[in-house]
Chain A
Amino acid sequence: MISRRALEIAAAALTGIFGVVVVVSSIDNGIGWSSAGVDAGTFPFLTGIIIVLGSLYNMGQGAMGRGTLAMVRIAVTPSELRRLAGLFVPAAIFVAVIPLVGMYLASAGYVFAVLALPRRQSVLRALVIAAATPLALYVVFERMFQVSLPHGALAAAFGY
């Protein structure tokens, strides 16, 4: 179970860290006014400062349990978290294996795994959808619009 307070603080911390990174890296580009006009880092620097200040405010509000969502105590229940993971984890694995096996094999495997393993669909139907997906991708992207999708290290090993 994740409380809303923890989630608010985590989100504000995330945006705050992003802001700090933006500030630090834009100082390298130079801030202020030079002979070439407004320096490249000025705009990002200002936005970074705004992000940091805003995040601190949001974190304070979240920690004190104030703000628009003050009534909601629990953000994510355990069963909700399980469903979220059920979608996100396979998707992340799918993305992770693309460089290895290529878009076509990865998408077929992903569709099959998501449909057949939790027994949401019959194995046959899952197989059909899993086969049709890369085929449709190939026809539309590789053939019609000549956008080459990653074939993966595996295909490269076989000489494609």
Chain B
Amino acid sequence: MENLQSLLHGFTIAVTVPHLTLMVIGVLLGILVGVLPGLGAPNGVSLLLPLTFGMQPVSAIILLSSMYWGALFGGSVTSILFNIPGEPSSVATTFDGYPMARDGRPTTALATAFGSAAFGALVGVILITFLASWVAQVALAFGPPEYFAVYFLAFASFVGMGGAAPIKTVVALAIGFAIAAIGIDTVSGSVRLTMGIDELVKGVSFVVAVMGLFGIGELLIAVEEEFQARAVSSRVDWKEVFRALGRLPQHGVALLRSAAIGCWMGITPGGPTAASFMSYGIAKRFSRNGARFGTGEAEGIVAPETADHAAGTSALLPMLSLGIPGSATAAVMMGGLMIWGLNPGPMLFVDQKDFVWGLIASMYVGNIVAVALVLLTVPVFAALMRIPFAVIAPLIVIICVVGAYSVSNSYLDVVLMLGFGVVGYLFKKLHYPLAPLVLAIVIGDKAEDAFRQAMLMSKGSLGIFFANRLVTTLVLAGMALLLLPLALQIVRLLRKPDEAAGEKVRII
């Protein structure tokens, strides 16, 4: 109850004209950086940071967090329309969002994405409201073995999807891990796998990989198939926006499950990217329409988007209560907190009640503002789909090139991106799965670090992964997900004679 009272007090701080204006500005800028690949929420927030030094801490955090919401929404736009994820966490949205948009339903795809994203964010904020003080204690129990177990779980749930040729999946996965290892090793400090190229010391950014694999690779597949963007109805179809939103409750189970996954991954800092992949993988396995995933299923958009936003929102929880940022953006914001003279951590809730609850209240309002603004801009983005492919193709190439360059102002990244484009085309053509490759590039490093730190703690004994209830549960759940496809296969084999008999009866 005390939390609710504080929240009401927070609303009186957040819902004022200057703060609402800040939210609108933040969200619009956020959508812009979200839409531009290469520029992401962390870049945007860092660029805005100097502007906030003269502001009240509450106003500053409202501006920055609104930008974060805007970027989370904006990232989905390019994933759906051009198959270029504007943010790493929206990679999983491309799997079904892009096919649906290409199928002539961009409005539906965007509205579905925004609707489920808003739901995920809402669940995340509600969770923060009620658990803010309690979660601090749970998250304190997280050490390297637990982190590794969380990553392992995310990985296993994704591999559990199956589908592609198993050995090709394994090769794709291992290549991803190797790419993630390029550069400075954070545990020992030694330089790995640079093959004598000094510029590779900074590592290969997954943004570069993703833009090549998905952006350029997909473009090559598209020209090969002589793809022509289908004329999308030129009317602004507002009805379709609401119809798509109205259909969301049909995916109730997926919404709730994805929100739960998202919140879990946000608090235990697995992050939005791992959350969206994991949610997509699980949805594919358990959905009735699982087999049609990847061809433009609404549920394939709902699952990653809900989890992405639930995780993005709840990632602020460990930042505020523990001083552990759950995502790159949260890390930048935490830097801001310190510059404004606030110390993130449990004491923040005691000393700076106005700040904390003002921020939490602004999350409710800010997300509503973000949904409204982003829905208003749907027709603008959907109109982009009507530009002839001959014009769009070179523009996508330029966006990918500029995006790859701006990650770290390196020309080598541009060349690498083009190389990844060829790999993406080749892999797609020969049915090597791209998703495990990307996931391994994104979290491979962190998983390896967590594993090695755990090994240091236990002096090389794997027993540390079964040392307490939390980590044991996580590891066992991961193994169960890994073995699930195998188990299902065996069950199917055992059942086969019966099923065949049943089939005959039905035919008769």
Measuring CB to CB, which residues of chain A are less than 8 angstroms from any residue of chain B?
4, 7-8, 10-11, 14-15, 18-19, 21-22, 25-26, 29, 33, 36-41, 43-44, 47-48, 50-51, 54-55, 57-58, 61, 67-69, 75-76, 80, 83-84, 86-88, 90-92, 94-95, 98-99, 103, 107, 110-111, 114-115, 120-121, 129, 133, 137, 140-141, 145-150
Report which of A25, A94, A107 forms a contact with B192, defined as CB distance below 8 A.
A25
- Given contacts A87-B223, A149-B402, whether A110 and B394 have CB atoms under 8 Å apart is yes
> Which residues in window 318-371 of B have CB below 8 A to A?
none
**Most chain A CB inside 10 Å of its own CB: which residue of B177, B193, B418:** B193
Closest beta carbon of chain B to A99's beta carbon, Å: 6
20 example contacts (A-B, Cβ-Cβ < 8 A) are as follows A11-B432, A14-B423, A18-B175, A38-B455, A40-B190, A43-B452, A44-B178, A54-B171, A57-B167, A61-B165, A67-B165, A68-B164, A76-B224, A84-B425, A88-B422, A92-B418, A103-B405, A111-B394, A133-B395, A145-B44
Q: A103 is contacted by which of B393, B402, B421, B427 (Cβ under 8 Å)? A: B402
For A145, the chain B residues whose CB sits under 8 A away are 33, 39, 43-44, 47
**When A38-B452, A57-B167 are in contact, do A48 and B431 touch as well, CB less than 8 Å?**
no
CB distance from B418 to the nearest CB of A (A): 6
Give, as a whole number of angstroms, the nearest-CB distance from B305 to chain A.
Answer: 26
Query: Contacts of B455 on A, CB cut-off 8 Å?
Result: 37-38
Bitwise, B151-171 to A at CB < 8 A (1) or not (0) is 000000000000011011011
Give the contacting residue for B391; candidates A39, A61, A90, A115; CB below 8 A: A115
- Report whether A41 and B398 are in contact in the complex, using a CB–CB cutoff of 8 Å: no
A26–B402 touching, CB < 8 Å: no
Q: Across the interface, which residues of A come within 8 angstroms of B418, CB to CB?
A: 91-92, 95
Name the interface residues of B138-186: CB closer than 8 Å to any CB of A. 164-165, 167-168, 170-171, 174-175, 177-178, 181, 185
Check B195 for interface membership: any CB of A closer than 8 A. yes
For the complex, would chain A's binding face be called helix, strand, loop or mixed by DSSP majority?
helix
Kindly state the separation between the CA atoms of A137 and B167 in the bound complex, as whole angstroms. 42
Interchain CA distance A21-B168 in the complex, whole Å: 19
**Interface residues on chain B, number (Cβ under 8 Å):** 65
In-complex Cβ contact of A51 among B164, B174, B388, B411 (8 A): B174
Option from B185, B405, B415, B426 in Cβ contact (under 8 Å) with A14? B426
B239 within 8 Å of A by Cβ? Answer: no
Q: Could you tell me the distance between the alpha carbons of A146 and B49 in the complex, rounded to whole angstroms?
A: 13
Q: Which of B93-140 contact A (CB under 8 A)?
A: none
* Distance between B489 CB and nearest chain A CB, rounded to angstroms: 16
